[in-house]
Amino acid sequence: MTTGTPRPPVRLPWFDVRLPRMRGDITWIYLWGAPLRVSHWLAALSLVVLFFTGLFISFPVWTSAGEASSHFLMARFRFTHFLAATVIVFAGIIRVYWLFAGNQFERWPALWPFTRRNVHHMFLMLKSYATLDPKIQPHFVGHNPLAQVAYTLIYLGTTVMMVTGFTMYGQANPGGFFYTLFTWVPGMLGGLQGVRVLHHTVAWLYPIFFSIHIYLAIRADYIERAGVVSSMLTGGRFVMSHEEFEDCDLGDHPSVPWHTGEHPTWVKPQ
Amino acid sequence: MDGSTLGEHLEERGVTRRSFVEFCTEMAVILGLGSAAAPSVANALATQKRPTVIWLEMQECTGCVESVLRTEAPTIGDLVLDVVSLDYSDTLMAAAGHAAEKAKAESMAKNKGSYILIVTGSVPTKEDGIYCTLAGKTIRSHLEEAAEGAAAIIALGACAHWGSVQAARPNPTGAVGVRDIIKNKPIINIAGCPPIGDVVTATVVHFLTFGRLPSMDREGRPLFAYGNRIHDQCSRRAHFDAGQYVENFDDDNARRGWCLYQVGCKGPATYSPCPIVQWNQRTSWPIGAGHPCIGCTEPYFWDTMSPFYQRLPEVGGFGVEKRVDTIGASLAIGAAAGVAAHAGMTVLHQIRARKSSKQLPEHDAAAQEDSNNG
Ligand code: SF4
């Protein structure tokens, strides 16, 4: 190496952070109320537990040798399943409360997004997923309507799971609370086996939903860089002040300082 | 003999008070009244007039009659001759042809409004019911005629309950149970294919003691017998809770008497007194003998409980019949694979897009220029 030769600047590609110079243009908006987030994570946790304990209950693959009196394997799995079931019921109660007390993205009318415009947007979402082209993707502050349909489906499925699950649970105590509450269910589904089949069928909705849901959430974060994944923890996400959204107009409103985090009842529906 | 009370009748036949009370104790226990109720049952029965029973056999295999003949106490002689006055039964009566029909008509006329009608077998409804006829008439008209003057109807067995095997898909004869034809009479379903004979006797005793049918569940089955699931009374239940299962019929676990859940036991979906009352003079019962319960006391079990050696039914329409769990697992794996593929393609696409600054989103591009200039 000869002295006097100017050294090229060190530019390691991994450290070449390109920050957009947009201070002040980025706003953090508070979207998801605490009850919604609490019910989301309670449901996520209990559904995972429910799915795997449910798998064991339907295929008890581990058999325990020796005296029956020294084991309680299936009983413990069932106990865990029932415990997780009470957690999801609790989460469901919170969610139902928030269907009436939440903001426009959380309230019950949001569960049915089938307006003409939204159907068109669903189509655009599908198209952008199929062509991998994020530019044709419409922008939403809340969920895109396609995601909302998936969530509504999960709410429905979970209701079916609760009803069929507690119907079977009640059978051990004929005349008891759950037995009496759900006497109409076996009749409707052609007997207890019908209830069981439905419970098994809907259960498979969850692994399918989980993989797609988690993937699409991370993907949206990767492409839009708006903090969508953490919004379910912190309650809010980032928006560019010049960004246009399909589901509400943020234009006229002053930026909300990012740590005040007012609940966004101020978001005007379009 | 006619018109005498049951007590007098038994005395005439030389039945001792002791064996009568023994019988009453047994019945009181099966009915869930407890042995303390035996004297009351005995009193009520002894002062009763012997009830007339008309037993109508329709579309059936006579297995239910066989099962009732196997009632432990009373034996066939006791049941037919001592407790009830069985005026008509194709299988058991000596008379045949016109004489039998005449006996039935006479008995029905004489005991109008007070006789018990026991029905075994289903009613075919297709082609005007020609699939089962008796004495030149369809069995449906026999049933309607006999039900007219009955005080109560005991629908005995799965056939009379809902149609059983002949009502399984595709049900070629349009077989239905008694409750689908007769709507204006109290009907009790003694479910099972066949049911346990003691349950029939106990139901008759209940009717004689209290003057009404016992309380029933949503299926019209007597609660004293069908009030609990097999699974909750099963002698193998400890193995279920412990997680000890028979996996094949000839494995060691089968020899050890472990739970039959994995080989298709429908005990968790079946209400029946089998584990307690058992069969053939308390000899054994299906699960006790190592065979999984097939759920024969539940309606439509031929369709809903089969395949009998699998936990769940199969779903048609996928070429090969598959269980929902197989289909569900394939879909879940498919979804995960789809997600992985899509994720890979998205990353490649984004990397390519971000490499060429022209393809960057507007603000990114502006920022890029900014930083380059600065
Ligand atoms: S054998 Fe059948 S009824 Fe008995 S415990 Fe096992 S699953 Fe339940």
Q: Would you say residue B107 lies in a domain?
A: yes
- Which of A74, A201, A223 has its CB closest to that of B328? A201
Q: Is A79 helix (H, G, I), strand (E, B) or coil?
A: helix
Residue B248 and residue B156 share a domain = no
Tell me which H or E stretch contains A236.
strand A236-240
* B245 Cβ closer than 6 Å to some ligand 1 atom: no
Give B-chain residues touching A77 at CB under 8 angstroms: 243
Alpha-carbon Rg for chain B in angstroms:
31
Angstrom distance (rounded) from CA B367 to CA B374: 10
Long-range contacts of the stretch B272-275 (C-beta < 8 A, 24+): B272/B191, B272/B192, B272/B225, B272/B226, B272/B230, B272/B296, B272/B297, B273/B30, B273/B196, B273/B199, B273/B225, B273/B226, B274/B196, B274/B230, B275/B230, B275/B233, B275/B234, B275/B235
Q: What is the pLDDT along chain B (374 residues), one digit of tens a residue?
A: 455 677 777 777 777 788 788 888 888 888 888 888 888 888 888 887 778 888 899 999 988 888 887 665 555 445 545 667 777 887 777 778 888 888 888 888 888 888 889 999 999 999 988 999 888 889 999 999 999 989 999 999 999 999 999 999 899 999 999 999 999 999 999 999 999 888 888 888 888 888 888 999 888 999 999 999 999 999 999 999 999 999 989 889 999 999 999 999 999 999 999 999 888 778 899 999 999 999 999 999 998 898 899 888 776 555 555 677 788 888 889 999 999 998 888 888 888 877 764 444 444 444 444 444 33
Most B CBs within 10 A among A16, A57, A62, A63, hence the mutation to make, goes to A63
Q: Please give the DSSP secondary-structure letter assigned to residue B32.
A: T
Q: Is B246 exposed, middle or buried (0-12, 13-18, 19+ CB in 10 A)?
A: buried
Cβ atoms within 10 Å of A252's Cβ, excluding its own: 6
CATH number for the domain spanning B238: value is 4.10.480.10
DSSP structural state of residue B48: S
Q: Which atom of ligand 1 is nearest to the CA of B234?
A: 4
Question: Least CB-CB distance to B244: which of A64, A196, A215?
Answer: A64
Q: How many CB atoms lie within 10 A of CB B235?
A: 12
Q: What is the pLDDT of residues A141-152, one digit of tens each?
A: 888 999 999 999
CB of A113 closer than 8 Å to CB of A107: no
Among protein residues, the one whose CA lies closest to atom 6 of ligand 1: B259
When CB atoms are compared, the residue of A71, A75, A183 closest to B218 is: A183
Q: What are phi and psi of B195, to 5 degrees?
A: -80, 170
pTM for the whole structure: 0.84
Q: Which residue of A has its CA nearest to B341?
A: A215
Identify whether residues B85 and B44 lie together within a single domain. Answer: yes
Name the nearest CA neighbour of B144 among B193, B109, B183.
B183
Pocket of ligand 1, candidates B285, B293, B312: which has the most ligand atoms within 8 Å of its Cβ, to mutate? Answer: B293
In a domain, B170, yes or no: yes
Task: Write down which residue in B178, B200, B226 finishes a domain.
Answer: B226
Mean pLDDT of all residues in chain B?
83
Indicate if B331 and B299 belong to the same structural domain: no
Output phi, psi for B122, to 5 deg: -100, 170
- Give the number of the atom of ligand 1 that is nearest the alpha carbon of residue B287: 1
Same domain? B270 vs B149: no
Residues 6+ apart with CB under 8 A from B175: B59, B122, B123, B124, B125, B131, B159, B163, B164, B166, B167
Nearest-Cα distance to chain A for B238, in Å, is 6
Determine, yes or no, domain membership for B29: yes
Residues B289 and B195 in one domain: no
Rounded Cα–Cα distance for residues A100 and A105 (Å):
11
Which residues of chain B are within 8 Å of residue A17 when distances are taken between CB atoms? Answer: none
Domain holding B353, by residue range, is: 322-368
Tell me whether residue B114 is in a domain. yes
Q: From the CA of B237, how far away is ligand 1's center (Å)?
A: 6
Torsion of CA B243, B247, B251, B252, to 10 degrees: 0
Q: In this structure, is residue B312 part of a structural domain? A: no
B167 and B263 part of one domain: no
The residue from B226, B257, B280 where one domain ends is: B226
Return the half-sphere exposure (C-beta side, CA atoms, 13 A cut-off) of residue A142: 27
Among A135, A202, A211, the residue to mutate for chain B (most B Cβ within 10 A): A211
Chosen domain end from B194, B210, B226: B226
For residues B257 and B128, membership in a common domain is answered with no
The pLDDT score that the predictor gives to residue B370 is 42
Interval A92-144: pLDDT, tens: 999 999 999 888 888 888 899 898 999 999 999 999 999 888 888 888 888 89
Expressed in angstroms and rounded, the spacing between residue A54 Cα and the centre of ligand 1 is: 18
| ipTM score | 0.82
Rg of chain A, C-alpha, whole Å? 25
Q: What is the 3-state secondary structure (H, E, C) of B66-121?
A: HHHHCCCCCCHHHHHHHHCEEEEECCCCCCCHHHHHHHHHHHHHHCCCCEEEEEEC
A22 → chain B, closest CA residue = B367
- B327 CB within 8 Å of a chain A CB: yes
The answer on B279 and B221 residing in a single domain is no
Q: Domain count of chain B?
A: 3
Q: Whose CA is nearest to atom 5 of ligand 1?
A: B237
Please list, residue by residue across B124-150, b when 16 or more beta carbons sit within 10 angstroms of its beta carbon and e when fewer do: bbeeebebbeeeeebbbebbeebbebb
One-letter amino acid of A37: R
Residue of B nearest to A194 (CA): B304
Pairing assessment for the beta strands B322-323 and B314-315 based on DSSP bridges: antiparallel
Task: Look up residue A140 and give its two tokens.
Answer: 């939403």
- Chain centroid to CA A259: how far? 25
Specify if B374 maps to a domain: no
Residue reference for tokens 């009030």: B227
Residue B51 lies in a domain: yes
B266 contacts chain A (CB < 8 A): yes
Q: Is B311 in the pocket of ligand 1 (CB under 6 A)?
A: no
> What angle (nearest 5°) sits at the alpha carbon of residue B136, between those of residues B130 and B138?
35
Say if ligand 1 is within 6 A of residue B275 CB.
no
Structure tokens at B116: 């018990």
Grouping H, G, I as helix, E, B as strand and the rest as coil, residue B259 is: strand
B86 and B19 fall within a common domain: yes
Beta bridge partners of A239: A27
Low-confidence ranges of chain A (pLDDT < 70): 1-26, 241-242, 249-270
Do B152 and B297 lie in a common domain? Answer: no
* C-alpha dist (Å) from residue B234 to A115, B237, B252, B253: 55, 5, 20, 17
The verdict on residue B247 lying in a domain is yes
What CATH number is associated with residue B116? 3.40.50.700
> Which residue in B268, B260, B324 sits closest to B291, CA to CA?
B260
Q: Which of B217, B312, B361 sits opposite A196 (nearest CB)?
A: B312
pLDDT of residue A267: 43
Two tokens at B372? 């380059």
Q: Which residue has the tokens 């003409």?
A: A116
**pLDDT score recorded for residue B365:** 44
State the pLDDT at residue A155: 96
Indicate whether B129 and B177 sit together in one domain. yes
- Most ligand 1 atoms within 8 A of CB, residue of B260, B274, B297, B311 to mutate: B260
The amino acid occupying position B241 is: D
Tell whether B276 and B256 lie within a shared domain.
Answer: yes
Which residue carries 């999984």 as its tokens? B292
